Amino acid sequence: MEKLTTINALRFKLRETRPQGSIGFVPTMGALHEGHLSLIRQAKQECPTVVVSIFVNPTQFNDPTDLEKYPRTLERDLELCEEAGADFVFAPEVSEIYPYGFSTKIIVEGNLTRLLEGAFRPGHFDGVTTVVAKLFHIVQPDRAYFGEKDWQQLQVIRKMTSDLTLPIEIIGVPTIREADGLAMSSRNVRLSPEAREKAKVLPFLLKTAQDLLDSATPETQTDKGPVIAQWLTTLLESNAPDAKVDYIAVVDPETLISIDEITDTALVALAVHIGGVRLIDNRLIRRTP
Amino acid sequence: MEKLTTINALRFKLRETRPQGSIGFVPTMGALHEGHLSLIRQAKQECPTVVVSIFVNPTQFNDPTDLEKYPRTLERDLELCEEAGADFVFAPEVSEIYPYGFSTKIIVEGNLTRLLEGAFRPGHFDGVTTVVAKLFHIVQPDRAYFGEKDWQQLQVIRKMTSDLTLPIEIIGVPTIREADGLAMSSRNVRLSPEAREKAKVLPFLLKTAQDLLDSATPETQTDKGPVIAQWLTTLLESNAPDAKVDYIAVVDPETLISIDEITDTALVALAVHIGGVRLIDNRLIRRTP
């Protein structure tokens, strides 16, 4: 495995390996955990050459404190990348990606970036789409891997890729969870022991959403999105009264628009601050006919 | 030469020819004239495979009447492309480029898109950068050719390409002019015989700018951008009193910011309505030490 820090050096290397078969790409912000590693492993199974980028992208942080506190563990990350099968790690400085005078933005407009995270993190997705498109141009991968934990981000990137006809297959990879169900996240290390304990309520809420849907009757109305969302909110309040909810929503998995009656599949998505750390998670729920 | 109307068909063809050497790309809106043909000929000299796109891009027209009146001459264009050496013409329908639900935009921010044309054609450059990036992703050329007549567009595309690290060399090609100096433009066919006669004042103004600079003395101050711009405006008023000026400006050729004292090179750029047709033109002027 080789670590590269400049665009030119990476391009030069990839020019050699490209003829040997497809290139898989896993863009990350570092602080790698099992979730990232599952992306790298899947990429390695499907592509002879795997590139991982490690770049804490400042333009996607709407909150400067979040950017500052974002964990940075490059040496450990490099070891993990190598173990998971990466061939190249691209770890550029900010000035390599955003040189002086940089002034181009890629924006996906509409509900996909306006709803859920978009409502709470203004400009976040503009930062994501711009940096991901730039990384796509640098790496020119055949396939790119993203975690389903950031479900909305995955949809936004699919949309950008298809609108701009980027010749890249976008692959969503299921969320990896801790033993108690908490979704792996680089931000989890910032949870205090008590907050970490409390945080397990989030996967519990998501599991409960499926249980509620399974038990739907005309009386419970738990085949209605708003009814499930309200149940989950109440349940969170009783389990973690000091948690701050950004949203708990039952939405269409593709459009992210709130669903009233669940006839088939819905996405339960939530963003909750626990002990001062903002956590997001989601789960598809299915109605069994 | 082959004409293709779908992205998939063009990609399939280019997959075959790509290994044979570099691909040159000339994006156009059709209504081809000698200016376009010089781009195609230069591309063919430098690249074994040349792709020309013909697509009247609705999103870059801020004025619906201008879009409606834009000349469309596809059959003649195809003949001209073939004569000039094009291998493939990509002529998609609007729905092929902008399918239902299309919602991604590429924006270059700052002076480059705010000044000159940007001040008079809101949203124009957003339309240009979005469609050009999409066409770049479809064709994946090694080199792309743009006319210097649209000088600002050329700078905006250079900036987008460099900011997003598109692996494409952007080549500016000198403006081709009629015998009396009028810059070739698809919009020239809309000039009435009288307006066409009047329009030759525009290259005369640009030539005069160089003459003024050559004759600069402390008294004339014609090494000052604003002084030259004022002279040209007065000259236009006396030669074509009913012409409507959008701008006549002396600017830095790269940043497009107005230049006060010309020490080396400057760009004289103008946009003038003559007989109801908006014409643009520009010329580099140089101070001889």
pLDDT at residue A101, rounded to an integer? 96
- Residue B207's pLDDT band (cuts 50, 70, 90): very high
> Checking DSSP bridges between strand A23-28 and strand A143-147, what pairing results, if any?
parallel
Segment A30-47 shows an average pLDDT of 98
pLDDT at residue B51, rounded to an integer? 98
pLDDT at residue B211, rounded to an integer? 97
Residue A289 reports pLDDT greater than 90: no
Residue from B36, B124, B137, B273 carrying the catalytic annotation: B36
Nearest neighbour of A103 by CB, restricted to B108, B140, B166 = B108
Report the percent of chain A where pLDDT is more than 90: 99
Per-window interface: A 88-117 vs B, CB < 8 A: 102-110, 112
HSE value, Cβ hemisphere, 13 Å, CA-based, for A154: 20
pLDDT at residue B137, rounded to an integer? 98
SS3 readout for A66-117: HHHHCCCCHHHHHHHHHHHCCCEEECCCHHHHCCCCCCEEEEECCHHHHCCH
CATH architecture of B186-281: 2-Layer Sandwich (3.30)
Domain at B2-173, CATH from 3.30.9.10, 3.30.530.80, 3.40.50.300, 3.40.50.620: 3.40.50.620
B108 contacts A104? CB cut-off 8 A: yes
Residues of A with Cβ-Cβ distance to B103 under 8 angstroms: 108-110, 112, 159, 163
B133 contacts A167? CB cut-off 8 A: no
Per-window interface: A 116-135 vs B, CB < 8 A: 129, 133-134
- Residue B11's pLDDT band (cuts 50, 70, 90): very high
The DSSP element (H or E) to which B281 belongs, if any, is strand B277-286
Min Cα distance A254 → chain B (Å) is 13
Tell me if chain A has a CB within 8 Å of the CB of B257.
no
SS3 readout for A136-155: HHHHCCCEEEEEHHHHHHHH
Tell me if chain A has a CB within 8 Å of the CB of B166.
yes
Where does residue A272 rank: exposed (0-12), middle (13-18), buried (19+ CB within 10 A)? buried
Sheet holding B244-251, edge to edge: B244-251, B265-274, B277-286
| The two structure tokens encoding residue A231 | 């149940």
B104 contacts A104? CB cut-off 8 A: no
Min Cα distance A112 → chain B (Å) is 10
pLDDT at residue B289, rounded to an integer? 73
Identify which of A23, A26, A27 has the alpha carbon closest to the alpha carbon of residue A48: A23
pLDDT at residue A288, rounded to an integer? 87
Residue-range domain boundaries for chain B = 2-173, 186-281
Identify which of A185, A198, A205 has the alpha carbon closest to the alpha carbon of residue A269: A205
Angle (nearest 5°) at CA B244 between B238 and B249: 85
DSSP assignment string, A204-230: HHHHHHHHHHHT--TTT-TTBHHHHHH
Q: What is the pLDDT of residues A200-234, one digit of tens each?
A: 999 999 999 999 999 999 999 999 999 999 999 99
Residue given tokens 């993990």 in the structure block: A80
HSE value, Cβ hemisphere, 13 Å, CA-based, for A182: 20
Among A115, A125, A132, A137, pick the best mutation site for testing chain B contact (most B Cβ within 10 A). Answer: A137
| The two structure tokens encoding residue A108 | 């996906």
Segment B201-224 shows an average pLDDT of 97
A163 contacts B103? CB cut-off 8 A: yes
- Beta carbons of B104 and A108 less than 8 angstroms apart: yes
DSSP assignment letter at B70 = S
* Catalytic residue list of A: 36
Q: Which residues contact B46 (CB under 8 A, 6 or more apart)?
A: B22, B24, B143
Min Cα distance A165 → chain B (Å) is 6
DSSP assignment letter at A31 = -
Residue A43 reports pLDDT greater than 80: yes
Where does residue A27 rank: exposed (0-12), middle (13-18), buried (19+ CB within 10 A)? buried
Whole-model pTM: value is 0.96
- Beta carbons of B28 and B4 less than 8 angstroms apart: no
Q: What is the pLDDT of residues A112-160, one digit of tens each?
A: 999 999 999 999 999 999 999 999 999 999 999 999 999 999 999 999 9
DSSP assignment letter at B134 = H
Name the closest residue on chain B to residue A99, using Cα atoms.
B163
Q: What's the whole-number average pLDDT of chain B?
A: 97
Segment A24-33 shows an average pLDDT of 97
| The two structure tokens encoding residue B108 | 């270059």
Tell me if chain B has a CB within 8 Å of the CB of A168.
no
pLDDT at residue A205, rounded to an integer? 98
Helices B124-139 and B151-163: crossing angle in degrees, nearest 10, is 60
Rounded CA separation A80/A189 (Å): 17
Q: In sequence order, what are the beta bridge partners of B143?
A: B24, B169
Q: What is the pLDDT of residues B236-257, one digit of tens each?
A: 999 999 999 999 999 999 999 9
CATH 3.40.1010.10 describes domain A186-282: no
Min Cα distance B99 → chain A (Å) is 8
Q: What is the pLDDT of residues B136-166, one digit of tens each?
A: 999 999 999 999 999 999 999 999 999 999 9
Q: What is the pLDDT of residues A229-280, one digit of tens each?
A: 999 999 999 999 999 999 999 999 999 999 999 999 999 999 999 999 999 9
> Checking DSSP bridges between strand A143-147 and strand A169-173, what pairing results, if any?
parallel
Among B100, B131, B134, B137, pick the best mutation site for testing chain A contact (most A Cβ within 10 A). Answer: B137
Helices B225-239 and B201-214: crossing angle in degrees, nearest 10, is 140
- Beta carbons of B285 and B213 less than 8 angstroms apart: yes
